[in-house]
């Protein structure tokens, strides 16, 4: 009887092992995308070249969450907000565990003056960061302020200040003039 169970489960176990091995090989293949050159372009503020670089990489790696994310950042800096929004959504669709993607998507929605949707994205990012990221808390506070949740916005700013965010401290000291000028 034990042999029968073993013979039944052995193909199942071997199949699981094979797919784990295959997934491991896939991730090492994905690491070879070599997006570092494009990240340098972003750091050097050469956004048009970075956008072109990531677009080219996406031809060869169309399911690369990181390439979509980085192209979205370059689109955002070029003020192509709708293109950036598309790229961030694509990035999230391929890997929904990267909190920074939610932050940048929220920033894009904020720039498009869709404050309620931006708040939701910042809230998702805050969940992934476990309320330990001051930038996320500041942006969520700005979105909350824009949709009229003043008390909750103040709480977000205070938590961001506790984490060392000077911009949130400035916002609180100037009674939200910083947000009004955005």
CATH number at residue 123: 1.25.40.10
- Helices 99-111/134-146 angle, 10° precision: 30
Its sign, for the CA torsion 95, 96, 98, 103, is: positive
- Could you report the per-residue pLDDT of 77-112, keeping only the tens digit for each? 999 999 999 999 999 998 888 899 999 999 999 999
Query: Is there a domain that residue 168 lies in?
Result: yes
Residue 27 has pLDDT above 60, yes or no: no
pTM tops 0.85, yes or no: no
DSSP 171: H
User: In angstroms, rounded to a whole number, what is the distance separating the alpha carbons of residues 140 and 52?
Assistant: 31
* Predicted pLDDT at 31: 46
Mean confidence (pLDDT) of the chain: 87
* Predicted pLDDT at 17: 74
Q: Per-residue confidence at 156, pLDDT binned at 50, 70, 90?
A: very high
Instruction: For the chain, give the percent of residues with pLDDT over 90.
Output: 65
User: In angstroms, rounded to a whole number, what is the distance separating the alpha carbons of residues 129 and 100?
Assistant: 9
Query: Is there a domain that residue 5 lies in?
Result: no
Closest to 99 in 3D by CA, of 135, 63, 145:
135
User: In angstroms, rounded to a whole number, what is the distance separating the alpha carbons of residues 114 and 106?
Assistant: 9
Query: Is there a domain that residue 131 lies in?
Result: yes
Q: Which of 3-7, 131-135, 171-175 has the lowest mean pLDDT?
A: 3-7
Total domains present in the chain: 1
- Tell me what the mean pLDDT of segment 131-156 comes to: 94
Q: Is 131 exposed, middle or buried, given 0-12, 13-18 or 19+ CB atoms closer than 10 A?
A: middle
Residue 25 has pLDDT above 70, yes or no: no
Q: Which of 8-22, 74-88, 164-178 has the lowest mean pLDDT?
A: 8-22
Query: Is there a domain that residue 165 lies in?
Result: yes
Query: Is there a domain that residue 148 lies in?
Result: yes
Q: Which domain holds residue 125?
A: 97-182
Query: Is there a domain that residue 160 lies in?
Result: yes
Q: Is 62 exposed, middle or buried, given 0-12, 13-18 or 19+ CB atoms closer than 10 A?
A: exposed
Query: Is there a domain that residue 22 lies in?
Result: no
More confident residue, 44 or 1: 44
- Could you report the per-residue pLDDT of 105-119, keeping only the tens digit for each? 999 999 999 999 999
Q: Is 16 exposed, middle or buried, given 0-12, 13-18 or 19+ CB atoms closer than 10 A?
A: exposed
Query: Is there a domain that residue 90 lies in?
Result: no
């Amino acid at each position: 009887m034990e042999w029968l169970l073993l013979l039944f489960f052995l193909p199942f176990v071997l199949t699981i092992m094979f797919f784990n091995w295959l997934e491991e090989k896939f991730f090492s293949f994905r690491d070879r995308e070599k997006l570092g050159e494009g990240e340098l372009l972003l750091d050097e503020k050469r956004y048009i070249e970075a956008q072109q670089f990531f677009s080219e990489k996406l031809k060869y790696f169309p399911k690369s969450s990181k390439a979509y994310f980085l192209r979205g950042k370059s689109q955002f800096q070029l003020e192509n907000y709708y293109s950036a929004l598309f790229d961030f959504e694509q990035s999230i669709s391929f890997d929904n565990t990267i909190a920074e993607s939610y932050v940048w998507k929220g920033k894009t929605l904020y720039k498009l003056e869709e404050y309620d949707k931006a708040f939701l994205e910042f809230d998702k990012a805050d969940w992934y960061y476990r309320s330990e990221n001051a930038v996320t808390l500041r942006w969520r506070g700005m979105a909350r302020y824009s949709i009229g949740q003043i008390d909750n916005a103040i709480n977000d700013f205070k938590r961001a200040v506790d984490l060392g965010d000077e911009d949130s401290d400035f916002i609180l000291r100037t009674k939200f003039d910083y947000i009004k000028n955005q």
